[in-house]
Amino acid sequence: METISLEHGSGGLLTARLVQDLVYQYFDNEYLLEAHDSACLPAPAGRLAFTTDSYVVNPLFFPGGNIGKLAVCGTVNDLSMSGARPLYLSCGLIIEAGLPASTLEAVLAAMAEAAREAGVFIVTGDTKVVESGAADKLFIHTAGIGEVAPQTDISGKKALPGDIVIASGSLGDHGLAILLKRHHLQLSSAVRSDCQPLNGLVQSMLEACPDIRVLRDPTRGGAATALNEIAGQSQVGIELYEEQVPVGREVRAACEVLGLDPLYLANEGKLLAVVPAAAAAAIVAVMRSHPAGLDGAVIGRIINQPPGRVFMRTLTGGRRIVDMMTGDPLPRIC
Amino acid sequence: METISLEHGSGGLLTARLVQDLVYQYFDNEYLLEAHDSACLPAPAGRLAFTTDSYVVNPLFFPGGNIGKLAVCGTVNDLSMSGARPLYLSCGLIIEAGLPASTLEAVLAAMAEAAREAGVFIVTGDTKVVESGAADKLFIHTAGIGEVAPQTDISGKKALPGDIVIASGSLGDHGLAILLKRHHLQLSSAVRSDCQPLNGLVQSMLEACPDIRVLRDPTRGGAATALNEIAGQSQVGIELYEEQVPVGREVRAACEVLGLDPLYLANEGKLLAVVPAAAAAAIVAVMRSHPAGLDGAVIGRIINQPPGRVFMRTLTGGRRIVDMMTGDPLPRIC
């Protein structure tokens, strides 16, 4: 099998071979190997968290990751942002006929590794193959199930005036890495996607402070869009301090040259948290002791007025509005 | 909004508008409207069933259904084949830029209607838009969660010699409906896809006989492939009686003209069941009193030898091997 052909998506013999010879090599757990139409799983004790995401990132491989790693981390992170412990993932593949089998294999291997890192099982899946030209190489959908502990209650509606806004690290790395790779731009030092699972970091944060109000991973639309969503859902204002927003040196430089704002670039391994002021220092300390939160920092606070608006206190002492992203500077970022 | 553009997939303002103005109009339930990264759901009491499917059917609309109805029914049916009661669905959309908004709206309306019919909630979703030419109009992924009752234990491994094989109705309707529509072939009377949710039928069957051994919905690869999978997983033989296999008159006629075998055509609203011989008559009676199983019939039996093989007793008294499907006579059937 050198390339994937339409017959591999037929549901017949070649589909069975693709699944047995390739998929099961990488995704081997008792639930998946049952090979039924559905995986049958022990039910978690708490409430369920359930999420899904589609991945159409272009190019498939980029510095710091690939579509497979992204598809696992993205769904693990969406579950984590509900305060859930991620447990089970599904994986749906749409493959363009002619895709090299080695490409698929590299993607599956990355998914398996990311799942291992996050401690989740890929328990059910589906494979479709479409004609050459009917899709662009490979699309992946993952859905995920997590368990929400009884005491956990995290929601975009819970930010209160006086709360503190924290970012878990530098912003804009993923978006810029994709942009540079897609346009074959070279910098003196490489910018890598931050693509990583955040469930371990979130568990540490929740142990330190069960009262975290809001968690959000600023993917498409960047931190600016995620903060606007929180401000809207909680009907509060948000004030950011420009000098405290963590942005990597290369990212800042490249953004200046290219006329981009890192607040609108996607992240795939960072989170924003809104926490009670009394707990902020402790949470930042916990984050900085976790590999996924080494550059965690307070970046702003929740204010009363005007509801639904995000502002930036600039380095020069001014104050500007930070809007939601309109348009799309960079399609197919994830 | 007349067509979907790349900006609708940006994660920014236009994505928010698409979701609020279009998606929420059709999928309105308390879980989805929470609008978090994950839906937070009450955990079911029994074990969980979890499944996923990708839908790339071409054309998007066909007699008897469309990609949206298919995406809901297919995942509801996969859950049902584990004996699970389907509860929650996710919905991931990959849209080709330029898709008319009215097309998307018709698909969402069909998803909402099918979900209502099946009694499930679409609780979480994701929308991606790719450039014109990078996907063929619209792909949908659904994943689903169901609840498996403690006494239910259905598996492809449980068929025993002496058990009876039942089909819930005529075979091949969906596959043939797609083929005729795609190739603009006209018959004197229309062939319609059988696309429908089967969870109600399965619940009735399980109430009549909790000991059902195997359930399988013969989608891609058709009944022949599904029966070969069962024979392989249970390490038994299967013997079918040709004169008892239900095939509609138009489907049989068209298959003869086109040189197709209805056993290899996909179904999207039919199931195969393996049941203890003592319960077969009662189960067929229950099926025939349910709208989704009016033409339910015994089509064969489980035999000892040779393991993994399916045979057909033909009308003329012969016996032929029924293999798994190889190749793909009809790509993008679902």
Q: Which residues of A touch B77 (CB under 8 A)?
A: 37
* pLDDT mean across residues, chain B: 94
Judge: A124–B43 Cβ closer than 8 Å, yes or no.
no
Which of the residue ranges A59-68, A221-230, B2-11 would you say has the lowest mean pLDDT?
B2-11
Chosen for mutation from B141, B198, B199, B268 (greatest number of chain A CBs closer than 10 Å) is: B141
Judge: A221–B11 Cβ closer than 8 Å, yes or no.
yes
* For residues A24-43, average pLDDT: 84
Residues B35 and A234: their CA atoms lie apart, in Å, by 12
Judge: A130–B56 Cβ closer than 8 Å, yes or no.
yes
User: If pLDDT is split at 50, 70 and 90, which confidence band does B31 have?
Assistant: confident
User: If pLDDT is split at 50, 70 and 90, which confidence band does B188 have?
Assistant: low
Confirm or reject contact between B327 and chain A (CB < 8 A).
yes
Residues A141 and B51: their CA atoms lie apart, in Å, by 12
User: If pLDDT is split at 50, 70 and 90, which confidence band does A199 have?
Assistant: very high
Q: Going from the N-terminus, what domains does chain A have, and what CATH number goes with each?
A: 3-148 (3.30.1330.10), 163-322 (3.90.650.10)
Helices B280-288 and B199-208 meet at what angle, rounded to 10? Answer: 140
In the block, which residue shows the tokens 């992946």? Answer: A140
Helices B249-258 and B173-182 meet at what angle, rounded to 10? Answer: 50
User: If pLDDT is split at 50, 70 and 90, which confidence band does A88 have?
Assistant: very high
Strands (E), chain A: 39-41, 47-55, 61-62, 65-66, 84-96, 121-130, 138-148, 164-167, 214-216, 237-241, 272-275, 297-303, 310-313, 319-321
% of residues, chain A, pLDDT over 90: 81
A90: closest CA of chain B, how far (Å): 6
Give the other-Cβ count within 10 Å of B71's Cβ.
29
Judge: B16–A56 Cβ closer than 8 Å, yes or no.
no
Q: Number of residue pairs across A and B with CB atoms under 8 Å?
A: 280
pLDDT of amino acid B178: 94
Confirm or reject contact between B252 and chain A (CB < 8 A).
no
Q: Which residues of B touch A52 (CB under 8 A)?
A: 90-92, 124-126, 141, 143
A172: closest CA of chain B, how far (Å): 15
% of residues, chain B, pLDDT over 90: 81
CA dihedral A181, A185, A187, A189 (to 10 degrees): 20
Question: Which of A13, A46, A55 is facing B325, going by the closest CB pair?
Answer: A13
Confirm or reject contact between B149 and chain A (CB < 8 A).
no
Residue predicted with more confidence, A16 or A129: A129
pLDDT of amino acid B187: 73
Question: Which of A9, A43, A130 is facing B43, going by the closest CB pair?
Answer: A43
pLDDT of amino acid B130: 96
Q: How far apart are the first and last CA of chain B?
A: 28
Which of the residue ranges A39-43, A213-217, B221-225 would you say has the lowest mean pLDDT?
A39-43
> Is it the case that residue A157 has pLDDT exceeding 90?
yes
Q: Which residues of A touch B33 (CB under 8 A)?
A: none
User: If pLDDT is split at 50, 70 and 90, which confidence band does A29 have?
Assistant: confident
> Is it the case that residue B34 has pLDDT exceeding 80?
no
Question: Which of A50, A78, A233 is facing B41, going by the closest CB pair?
Answer: A50
Determine contact, residues B76/B118, Cβ cutoff 8 Å. Answer: yes
For residue A169, the SS3 value is coil
> Is it the case that residue B180 has pLDDT exceeding 80?
yes
Element (H, E) at A106: helix A101-118
User: If pLDDT is split at 50, 70 and 90, which confidence band does B277 have?
Assistant: very high
For residue B233, the SS3 value is helix
pLDDT of amino acid B97: 96
Q: Can you give the pTM of this predicted structure?
A: 0.94
Confirm or reject contact between A155 and chain B (CB < 8 A).
yes
Q: Give the 3-state secondary structure of A178-247.
A: HHHHHCCCCCCCCCCCCCCCCHHHHHHHHHHCCCCCEEECCCCCHHHHHHHHHHHHHCCEEEEEHHHCCC
Chosen for mutation from B126, B127, B136, B137 (greatest number of chain A CBs closer than 10 Å) is: B126
Q: Which residues of A touch B136 (CB under 8 A)?
A: 130, 134-135
> Is it the case that residue A37 has pLDDT exceeding 80?
no
pLDDT of amino acid A188: 64
In the block, which residue shows the tokens 């999928």? Answer: B27
Chosen for mutation from A18, A36, A215, A334 (greatest number of chain B CBs closer than 10 Å) is: A36
* For residues B78-95, average pLDDT: 96
Question: Which of B52, B136, B148 is facing A90, going by the closest CB pair?
Answer: B52
A287: closest CA of chain B, how far (Å): 21
Which of the residue ranges A309-318, B4-13, B193-202, B276-285 would you say has the lowest mean pLDDT?
B4-13
* pLDDT mean across residues, chain A: 94
**Phi and psi at residue A308, to the nearest 5°:** 85, 5
Query: What pLDDT digit, counting tens, does each position of B150-170 carry?
Result: 889 999 999 999 999 999 999
Residues B69 and B84: their CA atoms lie apart, in Å, by 20
Judge: A38–B136 Cβ closer than 8 Å, yes or no.
no
Question: Which of A50, A90, A91 is facing B39, going by the closest CB pair?
Answer: A50
- Alpha-carbon distances of B45 from B42, B50, B121, rounded to whole Å: 9, 15, 17
Element (H, E) at B239: strand B237-241
> Is it the case that residue B30 has pLDDT exceeding 80?
yes
Q: Which residues of A touch B123 (CB under 8 A)?
A: 50
For residue B308, the SS3 value is coil
pLDDT of amino acid B37: 75
Q: Which residues of B touch A331 (CB under 8 A)?
A: 6, 9-10, 129-131
